A and B are shown apart, each in its own frame.
Chain A
Amino acid sequence: KQEVTQIPAALSVPEGENLVLNCSFTDSAIYNLQWFRQDPGKGLTSLLLIQSSQREQTSGRLNASLDKSSGRSTLYIAASQPGDSATYLCAVSRISGGYNKLIFGAGTRLAVHP
């Protein structure tokens, strides 16, 4: 059974810091991995998707890497801003019978203070 773990559970940093969020998964037979952002009580915003054949993806100040063999992904946020404060969730999918579902980690709650 796939299990996804995110470390740390919470993180508080001053504005401007570069930071790394970690995600690990127990079954390396994944199809893709998605990083999401969720503001309190709000929906899920997809940040980056990495397919299993890829090593990393970049979007603006965000960079996500994937090491499928070791079951790890990291989300790097450069020059953090107060507006980055949110919960960051990683989720993995596995294609089974042609269909996939996402298995989520519990998230990292990030607070960036001015």
Chain B
Amino acid sequence: AAGVIQSPRHLIKEKRETATLKCYPIPRHDTVYWYQQGPGQDPQFLISFYEKMQSDKGSIPDRFSAQQFSDYHSELNMSSLELGDSALYFCASSFQDSSYEQYFGPGTRLTVT
């Protein structure tokens, strides 16, 4: 079965640089979520999109932005990177049926040096 695809899997950037993370949801899933997991931390919700519109927003810094495109893939753009942005970034997708079960991608490990 198709799963959530994230690219790249690993990314190394320097402070103040910009990074773009991509997420391809499971086919026919209409909702995409982004989560950030810092070292030794639990995942924290950043932002979500339903049918290409932002549906909810969590603790996402103003330096970050995201969007969902017509083909339902989503991109998380991070500017002015800081050392504290080093984390695993997960994308999840779901279909708004009765369960709302979220399926997670393998994550992108971002290292800011």
Interface residues of chain A, those whose CB is within 8 Å of chain B, are 31-32, 34, 36, 41-46, 49, 51, 89, 91, 93, 95-107
- Which residues from chain B contact A103 at a C-beta distance below 8 Å? 45
Instruction: With A102-B45, A103-B45 as known contacts, state yes or no: A95 contacts B100, CB within 8 Å.
Output: yes
Instruction: With A89-B42, A104-B43 as known contacts, state yes or no: A49 contacts B101, CB within 8 Å.
Output: yes
- Any A CB within 8 A of the CB of B55: yes
Partner of A44, one of B43, B58, B98: B43
B25 CB, nearest partner CB in chain A, Å: 15
Q: Determine whether the beta carbon of A102 is less than 8 Å from that of B102.
A: yes
Q: Determine whether the beta carbon of B105 is less than 8 Å from that of A99.
A: no
Q: Determine whether the beta carbon of A49 is less than 8 Å from that of B99.
A: yes
Alpha-carbon distance A43/B45, docked complex (angstroms):
15
- Which residues from chain B contact A42 at a C-beta distance below 8 Å? 106-107
- Any A CB within 8 A of the CB of B90: yes
Alpha-carbon distance A99/B58, docked complex (angstroms):
13
- Any A CB within 8 A of the CB of B33: yes
Q: Determine whether the beta carbon of A99 is less than 8 Å from that of B56.
A: yes
Q: Determine whether the beta carbon of A101 is less than 8 Å from that of B33.
A: yes
Interface membership of chain B positions 88-100, coded 1 if the CB is closer than 8 angstroms to chain A and 0 otherwise = 1010100010111
A82 CB, nearest partner CB in chain B, Å: 23
Instruction: With A96-B56, A99-B48, A101-B58 as known contacts, state yes or no: A43 contacts B104, CB within 8 Å.
Output: yes
- Any A CB within 8 A of the CB of B103: yes
B46 CB, nearest partner CB in chain A, Å: 9
Interface membership of chain B positions 55-74, coded 1 if the CB is closer than 8 angstroms to chain A and 0 otherwise = 11010000000000000000
Q: A32-B101, A99-B31 are known contacts; what are 12 more A-B pairs with Cβ within 8 Å?
A: A43-B90, A43-B107, A44-B43, A49-B101, A89-B43, A93-B102, A99-B50, A99-B55, A99-B56, A101-B45, A104-B42, A106-B41
Q: Report the nearest A residue to B98, measured CB to CB.
A: A51
- Which residues from chain A contact B50 at a C-beta distance below 8 Å? 98-99
Q: Determine whether the beta carbon of B102 is less than 8 Å from that of A34.
A: yes
- Which residues from chain B contact A89 at a C-beta distance below 8 Å? 42-43
